[in-house]
Structure 1
Amino acid sequence: MIGELLLADLCADLPPAVRMQRMVVSLRAQFRCGAVALLQHEEDHLRPVAVDGLVRDALGRRFAAGLHPRLAAIVARRGVTCFHHDSTLPDPYDGLIDERVGEPLPVHDCMGVSLHVEGKPWGVLTLDALEVGTFTEAAQAALQRLTPVIEAALRITRLEAEIRALRQSRADAPAGEVVRDDGEIIGQSEAIAHLLHELRVVADSELPVLLLGETGVGKELFAHRLHRQSRRRNRPLIHVNCAALPESLAESELFGHVRGAFSGATGERPGRFEAADGGTLFLDEVGELPLSIQAKLLRTLQNGEIQRLGSDRPRRVDVRVIAATNRHLREHVRAGSFRADLYHRLSVYPVPIPPLRERDNDVLLLAGHFLELNRARLGLRSLRLSAAAQVALRRYPWPGNVRELEHVISRAALKLVSRGASRNEIATLDADLFADLFADGLGAPVPGEAPAPQPLPGAADMLAATLREAVDACQRACIERALAAHGGNWAGAARQLGVDASNLHKLARRLGFRREDAGRSQRPARRAA
């Protein structure tokens, strides 16, 4: 029966994720087991691509086979590998089985098989049963018979992906060259799916791209993805952190210098533009560039020429520029701190990157990824989130986005270990370990025209509210405290909160701030700009 279902799916026009998910669901029903996982080789680890019966954050985890003896044993064999109830090898899914979340797996059976596509290792399929004796010799034989059908489904899925990639690649791509989607971007939300589609569309053009987004959303990661999917992918990608360039050295770093150009210039030195010739130059935090350098950058973007500091001879360069900023450059243009002509040249194709709070359940997938990293780093048997902790993480607005989530998970894991958690037992991060997220951390209020600040909601309040109510309450309190700290100046509050001022006004209106409060506080902000 299961074989017929898998064969029917092979003939159906299904998205890859749907086909793989249907496969693991069908296998779990066929073998009457507690969990099934399909994991793909990715560099030095195994990445879950479809699971049934495991916790939601499992898809975000990465399992290093060298740290999980059962997975290593499955990878090493070509046929079915079975671990009976008396196996002493630790199970990689301890604490992650949906039916027994947070509990050590009882005596149980496990089996798995390594999967190959076109003769090359693809990954593994694992099955866990909570009842002893589930995986009999007949069950193992049945899995062995199904393995070729499973591998055929993977091969068809791979071929379909390659066909789509070829259609999206440029017409003059070398024969057999495929743009592979191999970036470590974790997420299944509609916002991320839309962003990845947009990046694929613009990647093959030669247009400058301006990545816009709050601190911590992963702008550098998306810049690397753009380069990998572009026709320049076999050429260098040079990263320049504009915020770290001293004004006195910025010109030399970007455009190079000749001997004697300044004190200490004992020889010629090419700049970052020459290093990126033929490839891509990623200007991170481009809004921090001094005005004097902005003029020279504009000239390079316009005519493709650079001039080393101290030289009269221009040099031709062929560079695609990807820029990124967490600032609202339009406001800086109005304030005179950023050139309007450079802004228009860089923002030929602006790409906004969604903040974590707009990515639905991606927070749990990312949390799973960081949990597994910390589990390995701290030498823990298993590390997971309690149900209350999952709710708390989903309700928090994440002003620091993915970077903040990574630090929060690491901090909570360290706290748990410092409290004496055993490395040989399942370690569970409860909601109280994340209480500092909701603590009053924005500083004491100062007198001004802003509304009186209210305390930020505590963890108990957050868990008692609906998701929308909790997010609204936290956002309202954050805005009030930021306004109080800046004497009612909305531009200052926006900078503190790391958001665009116009978006802050829209959010404030939705949260019920009075129009006269907003209007009264806008006037000094414009004068300051």
Structure 2
Amino acid sequence: MNSVSRQWLQIALDLNSSLSNQDRFDRLLTTIRHTLNCDASALLLFQDQQFTPLAINGLADEVFGRRFDLTFHPRLEAIARAGDIVRFPSDSTLPDPYDGLIPNHEDKLHVHSCIGLPLTIDERLIGAITIDAFDPEQFNNFSDDDLRIISALAASGLHTALLLQQLEKQAVVSHEPLTEKHNIKQEMIGTSTVMNELRSQIDAVAATDLTVLITGETGVGKELVASAIHYHSPRANQNLVYLNCAALPESVAESELFGHVKGAFTGAISHRKGKFELADNGTLFLDEVGELSLALQAKLLRALQYGDIQRVGDDRHIRVKTRIVAATNRSLHEEVKEGRFRADLYHRLSVFPLPVPPLRERENDVVLLAGFFAEQCRNKLGLNTIRLDDKLVSTIKAYHWPGNIRELEHVISRAAVMAKAEEKDGDLLLQTEHLLISDHHQAIDITPAEIDSNTFDYNEDFGLKSATEAFQKELIEQCYKHNHYNWAATARQLKLDNGNLHRLAKRLQLK
């Protein structure tokens, strides 16, 4: 048995081993790299006219977060349409999606030799393997038949992994026919331990009709979690209805929730369904539920308790089978203590509490998310390539991101716009000087500042209580400014509950 045959055998053994899918995919690419002596390779999943990386070898971590839409990547489109091995000539003018994304080759930013292996099952495309090298002649000694063997083995392994994954979900979610349908629009980017745990919790609760209370700081992606719960549930083919409770005027709040009949109030010119009815047999997502008034909380509680609603101006009761998923960035437990939220409603909503981790606790996910947003910017701005400077990557990993994923998205978007203004050739390198804080348009400072408690000016006329309050006020002001005027980040630095800090700030007349 020659060395090439042994490599094929090793690929087959790895793909049929008892390892996890990720380990099998990683070993596949490692074997390919050793066999073909390539500089980089990637295993991609094909869904809804785009490729999603499942495993990478020799590429920057940010590639894991990118989603390659065929509309914007002609090389990947060629691979998807070919039906067989694609060899791109070294002088091809088609932009390579990985240009500048192979680390430690700063002097050779553009890939020269590229091969695409479409992965098909029953003539249906399910993925692809891309193989890249800087040497234009690197793959000349490998025949198409050799590459077809890799393609066939990889396609079989990927197909098996997808079916097993679908079977696991089907066992707890529904009894629908087995398919390979994926909900990439509800995808959550990240491979950190806390995100994998969150996905496990979502899968567990999605299969039930339990009411879910999603908690977490502003910008962590609570709406995305609610969407994932719905689309992984037996209600996935029914409506997911969204209602922002914080933007709900008191005068129309009841009508928005429960609907109204014609003539119920001035302006009610026809019958109208409320959110509960629109979400019947589906899911109603109540965002910022902690902002509801006490009066509306009582009416919401009745709907949850008895499963029926009344339209405004109507005496009839309407039965609904609406699942409730709520979200808040407040501590509802503290709100209950302060009398601003009903205890009975809190217990009804928090049957399954689901905390979403802040970005600073998600290990290397910030790099993947930055790559995801960078790819979005590349598409929107019509760029050839967009990549992240090594120093920028170190900076965003060190920054505490008080605004979480939303802040990261805005920072990367602004950085891309600024970099484009400087570069006219369509190849952007995002650097640290392009990073700006959203509220103050200043470069991100990743060095934690010390809170200077020595600046407190003691007045001899102070009593202990007055002196303590004056010191608290000055310390909170310093910390608040240091954290870019973000109360949640200030609470974390002062090791206080967020709700308690807000109440203290109001008492000290800081709010």
State the TM-score, normalized to the length of structure 2.
Answer: 0.87
How far does the alpha carbon of each residue in 1:152-186 deviate from its partner, in whole angstroms, 9 at most, with x for none? 1112212221232233335xx24547885643211
Distance 2:69 2:343 in 1: 49
Residue in 1 that maps onto 2:316: 313
| Count of matched residue positions in the alignment of Structure 1 and Structure 2 | 483
The 8 Å contact of residues 112 and 125 in structure 1, kept in 2 or not, is answered as yes
Distance 1:475 1:121 in 2: 56
For structure 2, which runs of at least 5 residues remain unmatched after alignment? 1-5, 456-469
Residue in 2 that maps onto 1:326: 329
The 8 Å contact of residues 50 and 67 in structure 2, kept in 1 or not, is answered as yes
Distance 1:316 1:495 in 2: 48
Residue in 2 that maps onto 1:448: none
| One-letter amino acid of the counterpart of residue 49, structure 2 | D
Q: 1:295 to 1:102 in 2, by over 3 A?
A: farther
Matched, 1:286 2:289: yes
SS state at 1:267 partner: coil
Distance 1:90 1:264 in 2: 57
Matched, 1:81 2:86: yes
Give the CA deviation at 1:396.
Answer: 0.7
1:329-368 aligned within 5 A: 329-368=332-371
Residue in 2 that maps onto 1:515: none
Q: 1:280 to 1:496 in 2, by over 3 A?
A: farther
Q: 1:431 to 1:485 in 2, by over 3 A?
A: farther
Q: 1:185 to 1:280 in 2, by over 3 A?
A: same
Q: Residue 414 of structure 1 is aligned with which of 411, 414, 417?
A: 417
Distance 2:58 2:245 in 1: 46
SS state at 2:233 partner: coil
How far does the alpha carbon of each residue in 1:233-288 deviate from its partner, in whole angstroms, 9 at most, with x for none? 12111111111111100001100111211111122111110111111110011111
Distance 1:502 1:527 in 2: 15
| One-letter amino acid of the counterpart of residue 154, structure 1 | L
Q: Residue 204 of structure 2 is aligned with which of 201, 204, 208?
A: 201
SS state at 1:99 partner: coil
Q: Residue 4 of structure 1 is aligned with which of 6, 9, 14?
A: 9
Q: 1:33 to 1:239 in 2, by over 3 A?
A: same
Matched, 1:35 2:40: yes
Residue in 1 that maps onto 2:54: 49
Give the CA deviation at 1:227.
Answer: 0.6
The 8 Å contact of residues 210 and 323 in structure 1, kept in 2 or not, is answered as yes
| One-letter amino acid of the counterpart of residue 424, structure 2 | S
State the TM-score, normalized to the length of structure 1.
Answer: 0.84
Distance 2:471 2:107 in 1: 43
Residue in 1 that maps onto 2:458: none
Residue in 2 that maps onto 1:16: 21
Give the CA deviation at 1:121.
Answer: 0.8
Q: 1:209 to 1:527 in 2, by over 3 A?
A: farther
The 8 Å contact of residues 379 and 423 in structure 1, kept in 2 or not, is answered as no
Residue in 1 that maps onto 2:392: 389
SS state at 2:285 partner: strand
Q: 1:95 to 1:489 in 2, by over 3 A?
A: closer
Residue in 2 that maps onto 1:98: 103
Distance 1:272 1:360 in 2: 38
SS state at 1:51 partner: strand
How far does the alpha carbon of each residue in 1:452-511 deviate from its partner, in whole angstroms, 9 at most, with x for none? xxxxxx76x74xxxxxxx4xx25969xx9xx99965669x96996353998665379xxx
The 8 Å contact of residues 47 and 62 in structure 1, kept in 2 or not, is answered as yes
Give the CA deviation at 1:60.
Answer: 0.6
Residue in 2 that maps onto 1:70: 75
Report percent identity of matched pairs.
41
Matched, 1:249 2:238: no
Q: 1:437 to 1:175 in 2, by over 3 A?
A: closer
Q: 1:35 to 1:160 in 2, by over 3 A?
A: same
SS state at 1:82 partner: strand
Give the CA deviation at 1:335.
Answer: 2.1
SS state at 1:98 partner: coil
Distance 1:498 1:153 in 2: 49
For structure 1, which runs of at least 5 residues remain unmatched after alignment? 442-457, 463-469, 509-518
Give the CA deviation at 1:438.
Answer: 11
Q: Residue 147 of structure 2 is aligned with which of 140, 143, 149?
A: 143
The 8 Å contact of residues 169 and 179 in structure 1, kept in 2 or not, is answered as no
The 8 Å contact of residues 180 and 229 in structure 1, kept in 2 or not, is answered as no
Residue in 2 that maps onto 1:184: 187
RMSD: 3.1
How far does the alpha carbon of each residue in 1:372-419 deviate from its partner, in whole angstroms, 9 at most, with x for none? 11112112111111111001100111111111101000001111122x
Distance 1:18 1:155 in 2: 16
Residue in 2 that maps onto 1:467: none
Q: 1:362 to 1:37 in 2, by over 3 A?
A: same
Q: 1:326 to 1:489 in 2, by over 3 A?
A: same
Give the CA deviation at 1:139.
Answer: 4.0
Give the CA deviation at 1:74.
Answer: 1.5
Give the CA deviation at 1:64.
Answer: 1.8
Matched, 1:271 2:260: no
How far does the alpha carbon of each residue in 1:298-336 deviate from its partner, in whole angstroms, 9 at most, with x for none? 000001111111111111111110000111112222222
Residue in 2 that maps onto 1:160: 164
